[in-house]
Each structure stands twice: as structure tokens, then as C-alpha cells.
Homo-oligomer: A and B are copies of this chain.
């Protein structure tokens, strides 16, 4: 196993914070990729001079951030570095809702719309025929009622995909996940009746490379969502 930063200050117990920093440094120094195996708990204990409890708690912290991934009875690995922590945090925030029950949801939808409308020009310029066909396929699937939720999620993900910005894609997915988890708890439906038609409108404008039409179609898609939220707000 590669070298691990040893505990140079013997005789003083390591803080949990330090343990997780050492583990992160171990990953960085060895340029480990997601999926790469980490030393076992016992090895980490020995290398860091910390007890198993401290190491385990540090690992749980890193696990929550998807920096490491723990597989029971198998081992600990470098995590996928996804935005799962953002999803869990925002979901909880949406469920707790300090004062305005729908504020989080409303802000979430606003950002989603911004990702699509604010990048409209670049999206239209980058969407190729293959991706347009993929969007068609997704809407068809929704129309047939096959995994409508998954197809809806994939639709918006694919819409921003040509931007070539992985972060935007992941945030789009993350916000969609938060919305679909929180909305039902607040009495809001996930699907609109005319979601299929609204999505088709977006594709049509995109295929025609009609910038104004595209922007309008995206606005039309999010309008009922926004209205429903503000109506529920009172």
C-alpha cells in the first residue's frame, strides 16, 4: 500500500477532524480515482495512530460527502464525488421549511429554469440531431407512461448536456431529485398534465433553432410549476 502520512505527534490523540484530513490527503497525494480501494480500518488505525472509533467516525464524515464509499464486508473505496450531499441537505431544508414552506422549492425551480433559459443560445448551437432524437425518444416514453419521472429527469439532463458543463448537469439532476422528493410532502404534484406537450414544444423550437421560441417554450414549461407553487403559497 502507498505511504500514508504518519502521526508525527505521538503521545497526543488525533482529533477526528485531523483523521479525515489525513485520509483526504492520502487520496490526493496518491491521486486515487473514484472506486480505488483505501486501506482497511485497521491499517488506517495503525498508520494514523488513532483508535478504530476515531477512524470510523472520520470515514462516516467523508462517506456523507461521497468522498469515500464504504461497502460492508468488502472495504472502503474512493467515492464518486457526486452531489449527493447537496441533495440530502437541500431535501432536508425543504422538508423543515423554517417559515415559508415553499421558498426552497420556488428558488430551486428558478435556478433550473435559469440553467435552460440563460444558456438557450449555447444549447441551440450545440444540440446535434442525435441528441434531438434522444429527446424525442424520452418524450415518447413519457407519452407511453413508461417511467415518466425518470424520462422527465433525463430530458432536462440531456437538454443541458450539450453545454459540456458537468457541474450544470449534476446540479440539474440534483435539483430535480430534491424537487421530486420534497414536492409530494407539500401537496404538490410531480407531473403536470401537459408535460409531454410542453416538452415537445421545447424540442420543436430547438430543432428549428428558434432562439426566441425556445426561450418561450422553456418559460411555458416552468410557468405552471411556478404558478402552482405561488398559488400554494397563498
Contact = CB atoms under 8 A, between A and B. Distances in A.
Nearest to A67: B92
Q: How many subunits of this chain does the assembly comprise?
A: 2
A208 interface: no
Contacts of A60: 16, 57-58, 60-61, 64
Chain A: interface size category:
35 or more
Interface string A40-63: 000000000000010011101111
A222 interface: no
A167 interface: yes
Contact of A107 (B27, B33, B166): B166
Contacts of A191: none
Given A60-B61, A66-B89, A167-B108, A96 B81 contact: yes
A110 interface: yes
Contact of A67 (B27, B89, B107): B89
A89 B65 contact: yes
Nearest to A95: B28
A119 B108 contact: no
A212 interface: no
Interface string A182-193: 000000000000
Interface of A: 16, 24, 27-28, 31-34, 53, 56-58, 60-67, 81, 83, 85-86, 88-89, 92-93, 95-96, 98, 103-104, 107-108, 110-111, 114-115, 117-119, 165-168, 171
Please name the 5 residue pairs, one residue from A and one from B, whose CB atoms are nearest each other, closest first: A118-B118, A64-B64, A85-B85, A107-B167, A61-B64
